[in-house]
Every structure is written in structure tokens, then in C-alpha cells.
Structure 1
Amino acid sequence: MPTKVQQPLKAYIPPPPTKEDLDFADLSVIDLSKASTPEGRSELALQIHKALRDVGFFYAINHGYTSAQTARVFDIASATFDLVSDEEKRDYTGKDTSVYRGYKPRKAWIIDPGVRDEIENYAVHRNVTAQDHPAILRPFLPELAAFTRHNHDNVLQSVLRLLSLSLELPEDTLTKLHDFEAAVSFIKYHPRGECDAPEGNNVWLKGHTDIGTVTILYSQPIGGLQILSKDNKWRWIKHIDDALVINIGDGIEYLSGGYYPATRHRVIQPPVDQRNIPRLGVFYFAMANDSVKLSPLDHSPLLQKEGIKKYFDANMVPTMEEWRRERTSRYGRSELKPSATEERVEEERIRGTVIKHFN
């Protein structure tokens, strides 16, 4: 059988990890290879329970993607930004602000008064042929399709089974709610120029929670990602070769009745020895099925025992699609108001529940 020949592509060469002495968060390392047996899943469910209750992030290793495959995806991600002209990018910029599809250009979001973002996104629908792509990407669509499928089948489904077990539910509870509603995003954080607001130079993406259920980030060496710890301190996320950095979003918080709070995180200027280097990210943002109501899984024995928080009035509970569209259309565009109870926190209200933005 002939070997499949990959299309040639310029290699993305990442810089070395920072040597700065930073305050790194202490994250659990979950070995997904153990998820192949019931005994292994029981062990990992306990680890994930502790990780999400104590910190909110964890690393996943042995997830089935090789170093070479990971490097190849970063090559494709880099080409998406560096080998496409500004004119062609405009042709593939998403027109509907309630849907992530195609390019999001720099300066579309407000970071601070008078300060706009320097972040480029390129979002790919789970069905990669459901949208048009710039010419440079078209030869690589089969690889992107395989990448999305790997993340869904081999990573997300494993994590969802472990989450279900950790809530004392049948392990297919959450997998049944996730058919294939997700998007791959390539994100390039460009170094900020000088601006009038000093904080705007330092904070590249305000502290926030993710919209969906589970976020899968392919670890890369340029620092900047931070988590807001329980002691209210921002701590850096350390790079681990070939690891995934996984966190949960609004969807899991609402489905778990607040038992697993969505992870609060931000992106700031990289450490001094990586300053002025663009930061390239490869993400898989998972969502529950569009029709899933974001109300608590109140048949969970654990939640019945620990208590269940309801975020919405009965007649205002959004579906995943409604929540995704509302938050996506508002992000970086809506007017935020200072919190009356927390310093350096801004708020907005969606469907009667408060969404916080941390700075």
C-alpha cells in the first residue's frame, strides 16, 4: 500500500521555553492512556475531580497525537496567518459576529478604554468542508479533518467520560450530549505596541471563562497564559512538550450546578526573554449539542448531596447554541460595568446571570 505523501509546508520553529523564574500553577498530569480500562477511568476520574475542584486546569499526556503530528498542526496554523495576504484574509473574515467562523481580525475587541486587541483568530468548523478556506489551507483540509476527529474521539470523549464518573453519573452521560459540536481555532497573539493605557500593554486578553464545555489547548513554549487561583493570584501555566492543557467552560459549570466552576484565565505579555515574539495557539473548543439545555444534571447523586446552584430562571435557561451565540456576539463589544463587590472585575448580565471579566 503506497505511503501517503504530505503536502510540503514551511516549518514553524517555536522559541525555547522561558528561563524566567515565574510563579507557575501546580497542575495535575492526567495520563489518558489509562482511560482504556474501567479501573483506569475510575482512577483518572478521581484525579480530574481534584484538579477541577482545586485548580481548574490540568495537563493531559499520552493522548494519541505524536510530536510530529503536533508540529505539523502548528505548521498549518502558522501558514494560516503568515502566508495569507491581508486582502485574502478579508475575503474569509466571518461576517456573523455570533459565530466563530473564518478570520477574526486584530483590533475587533475592546481590551480597555482606548485599547483594542492584537489577536488574530482563524476558526474552522468541525466539518472542515462546511466553509470556504484561503488557498494556502485547501491542500491541508484532510489533515485538519483528521485533527478535529482525533480531538473529538480520542481526547474529548475520554475527558467527558471521566467528568461523568466524577459526578457519580453513568460514564456516557456527557458524551451523549456531545455529538460533534466543536471548532478548531488557530490564534495568533501579536505583541502589543505602545498605547495610552499601561495595563493594555500587559494584558493581551482579559481574564474570562470559556463559552463551551471543554477547551483543549496544545501546549506551546511561549508564556502568557495565566490562571486565577483560589487565593486570587494570577499564576503562569508552564509548557510541557506534547501535553494538552485542558480546562472547562461555562457549559460544564451550568451542567454541574456550579460544582465545577468554569476556569478563570487570561493571556498577558510573555516573559522578558520571550517579549516581542508572537504567540501561536492551537485550540479545540468543545460545545454540547446545540439543543442541550444548560440546566444542572440534577440526577447526579453527588450534586444532590453537595448542593445544586441554578443560574437561570426556569423560563430563561439557554440552549448551548443560544448561549454560544449570545456570548460570542457580545465578547469584546458590549459595555462592561465595574463590579460593586470585587476590585478589578467588570460585569455584564446575560439571561439574568452575571458574567465576570477579570483584569
Structure 2
Amino acid sequence: MVETAFPDAPHRPPPPPTTEDLDWADLPIVDISKASTAEGRTELAAQVRDAMRTFGFMYIVNHGLTQAQNARLFDIADVPFSQVSEEEKRQFSNEIKNTGSYRGYKPRRFWTIDNGVPDQIEHYQFFEQKHHPQALQPFLPEIYAFAEHNHFKVLHPILRLLALGLELPEQTFVNIHDVDATGPGFVRFMKYYPRSEEDEAKTKNVWLKGHTDIGTITILWSQPISALQIMTPDGQWRWVRHIDNALVINIGDAMEMLSGGYYKATIHRVVQPPADQQGYERHGAFYFAMANDDVKLVPFVESPVLQREGIKRRIEDENAPTMAEWRVGLTRSYGVSELKRKDVVIEEQVVGGIVVKHYN
């Protein structure tokens, strides 16, 4: 057998997990390898249904990549930030407010977090663009393979389980997610940089306000620095614990609308890490799944479950946006539009006739 030679990427030893006693969210852990059989999908369907109704979040394990492959992924994920000059980064940035797209670089200090404090988050997103920085060129085959793995080996099984939870045909949601892994889904690498004490005080240690995601399913590859929190059903913020080589899965707005409110787009935020992890740069690797651009975000009313349980719409069907309209509208406005304060916690904006809430 001929071994594949991979290009060198600077190795980043992962920081140690926190030892602090945090208020952890008790999220379900799903063994996705069981979804390879009809019997396994029947077993998992109720577990996933309940997780996505109660929390909107869950862990996935046994997804098909090893811990060594996971470590390699995070080495590659640092390349667009540490191996590309600032000048070249500017060449691969785009006018987010005009295009409604995060393709290429989103620079630091683009969003406003609170009290005039800008964000310290940099990210690079694939694959709407054909060209990439020179340092990324050798790694593109691995990044494409990563996208395909997320799309076919993780997303598709989850979509089948969600359809079964609504008593719909298994392929219902798969059929509205393009079979091309570089189509409606986006790979995004992120880096959160430490902030000053002054900025932490002004934002009450919040790095990214409480929000829900745009798309159908978000796949986050777990990493050791604790900073992600979710709002649990009792209205409390709780930390998401790191599990080696696990995936953190959450429902987004589009799936909530497609499921008539049956599945929950859960509010989550990013905050300053605990004391024993402060000072580290926090890396993220994501796959954001979207329905096909022309899919109108209306409930699957033929679901027997929705016919029994009832439908909760965010907007009337005739006014509902398509996936593309929703994605572009939110991307253009997020972090740069003026928000209307509802109370001491919630701020609101209206996008395409739909109220979008931000939690601080």
C-alpha cells in the first residue's frame, strides 16, 4: 500500500482542559455509528428527538475520524491565521455587509459586542470562493475531505434521525441539503484572541452575545478551552464540557422553522474562559449546514407529529424567507446593525419581518 504524504503543518499542542468546577450542561451523548442500520436509527431517533426538543444541543461520538485526525485538523485550522500575512488576509476578505457572505476572512474588530467594544474573533470560511491564500493551497484536499466527512458521515445521519422524529420519510431533510458537500454547507476555522481587562469589564466577559445559528445544523469539533455556554430550559447559562474527539451539534433557525418549532434553535454564547485557561488563543472548527438556497423555510405540515402537537411559526408561510434570503439577511446585519433593547437581557432586530433576539 502506498502511504499518502501530507504537507507539514505547524503542530499546536492542545491546551489542557480546565480543572475548575463549572456549572456544566448535562447534554446527551449520541453514538452516531449506530445510525448505519435501520434498527440503530430507530433506537437513536427518540434520543435525538428528545435532545433537540429539550436542549437543541447534543454530543456526537464515534463519527469516523480518529483523535490523531482530529489533532491534524486543528493544526490545519491554525494555518489561515498564523501562516498568512496581514496583507494577504486583506486580499481574501470580502465586503460582508454588501455580499451577505462570510467567504474568506472575517477580520477582528468587525462586530460590536457591547458598550462599543469590538470583537476579537477572526475566521476564514470555505468554499464559496475558488481562490485561497498560498499557505492554504497544500491543505485544500484535506479540507475538502473534512467537508465531505461532515456532510455525508455526520450531517446526513442526523437529518435522517430528525425526519424520523417527525414521523417523516427518512430522506425528507437530506433531500433539501445539496449532495455536494461544498454546496450549502460551509467549513469555518475560527480563532478567538484574548482581550484586555478593560474590554472584559465593559462586556461583562461576553465574547459573543447569546444568539441562535442561521442554518439547519451546526457541527462544532470540540476543543479543550471552555468558553461556550448554552441557555438551558430553566433559563440559566451553563458551560459546554469538552469531550475528546466529540462533536457538539446544535439546531439552527432554519431547522426550527422547517420543523414548525418542534426542534429548538438553542441560544448559546461565548464568554471569557475560566481562570486556568485565560491567555490562550481559542481555536474553532465548524461545519455550518444550510438547506438549499431555494428552500422556503416553512414547516413540513404533512408531519403526523406536527399535526398532533401543533405548529409554532416565526412568520406566516406566505412571508417566509428562502434559505438564501435568511442567510444573506442575517449575515449582512449581524453585529453591525443597531439593536432595540427589549429589557436588561434581550436586544432585538427585525430581519425579513422576523424578530431576531440577542442575549447579553
- TM-score, normalization by structure 1: 0.96
Q: Output the CA distance in 1 between the equivalents of 2:313 and 2:247.
A: 31
Counterpart position of 2:90? 90
Q: CA deviation at 1:24?
A: 0.2
Secondary structure at the residue paired with 2:9?
coil
Q: Output the CA distance in 1 between the equivalents of 2:335 and 2:96.
A: 15
Amino acid at match of 1:174: F
- TM-score, normalization by structure 2: 0.96
Secondary structure at the residue paired with 2:349?
strand
Aligned length: 354
Q: Output the CA distance in 1 between the equivalents of 2:169 and 2:159.
A: 11
Task: Say whether 1:102 aligns with 2:104.
Answer: yes
Q: Which region of structure 1 is more displaced relative to structure 2, 79-88 or 25-34? A: 79-88
Residues 302 and 314 of structure 1: is their aligned pair in 2 closer, same or farther, counting only changes over 3 Å?
A: closer
Q: Deviations over 1:30-81 (max 9, x none)?
A: 0011001111101111001111122121000000111111111100111211
Q: Output the CA distance in 2 between the equivalents of 1:10 and 1:197.
A: 30
Q: CA deviation at 1:196?
A: 5.9
Residues 49-88 of structure 1: pairs in structure 2 closer than 5 A: 49-88=49-88
Q: Output the CA distance in 1 between the equivalents of 2:331 and 2:198.
A: 26
Amino acid at match of 1:69: Q
Q: CA deviation at 1:303?
A: 0.6
Amino acid at match of 1:80: P
Which of 210, 231, 244 is equivalent to 2:213? 210
Secondary structure at the residue paired with 2:263?
coil
Q: CA deviation at 1:197?
A: 6.9
Residues 99-178 of structure 1: pairs in structure 2 closer than 5 A: 99-125=101-127, 130-178=129-177
Q: CA deviation at 1:343?
A: 3.5
Task: Say whether 1:237 aligns with 2:240.
Answer: yes
Secondary structure at the residue paired with 1:357?
strand
Secondary structure at the residue paired with 1:195?
helix
Detail structure 1 runs of 4+ shifted over 4 Å in the superposition.
Answer: none
Amino acid at match of 1:346: E
Counterpart position of 1:310? 313
Residues 218-237 of structure 1: pairs in structure 2 closer than 5 A: 218-237=221-240
Q: Output the CA distance in 2 between the equivalents of 1:196 and 1:330.
A: 23
Amino acid at match of 2:101: V
Q: Output the CA distance in 2 between the equivalents of 1:131 and 1:117.
A: 28
Q: Output the CA distance in 2 between the equivalents of 1:153 and 1:123.
A: 19
Secondary structure at the residue paired with 1:186?
strand
Counterpart position of 2:40? 40
Contact kept? 1:45, 1:162, Cα under 8 Å? yes
Q: Output the CA distance in 2 between the equivalents of 1:343 and 1:298.
A: 36
Amino acid at match of 1:233: Q
Counterpart position of 2:201? 198
Q: Output the CA distance in 1 between the equivalents of 2:278 and 2:197.
A: 13
Contact kept? 1:80, 1:137, Cα under 8 Å? yes
Q: Output the CA distance in 1 between the equivalents of 2:221 and 2:21.
A: 23
Q: CA deviation at 1:201?
A: 5.5
Secondary structure at the residue paired with 1:59?
strand
Q: Output the CA distance in 2 between the equivalents of 1:201 and 1:275.
A: 15
Q: Output the CA distance in 2 between the equivalents of 1:8 and 1:68.
A: 14
Residues 197 and 25 of structure 1: is their aligned pair in 2 closer, same or farther, counting only changes over 3 Å?
A: closer
Secondary structure at the residue paired with 2:70?
helix
Q: Output the CA distance in 2 between the equivalents of 1:278 and 1:256.
A: 37
Q: Output the CA distance in 1 between the equivalents of 2:202 and 2:28.
A: 31
Percent identity reads 56
Task: Say whether 1:268 aligns with 2:288.
Answer: no
Counterpart position of 1:259? 262
Secondary structure at the residue paired with 1:122?
strand
Amino acid at match of 2:207: W
Q: Output the CA distance in 2 between the equivalents of 1:239 and 1:286.
A: 22
Q: Output the CA distance in 1 between the equivalents of 2:317 and 2:230.
A: 32
Contact kept? 1:207, 1:358, Cα under 8 Å? yes
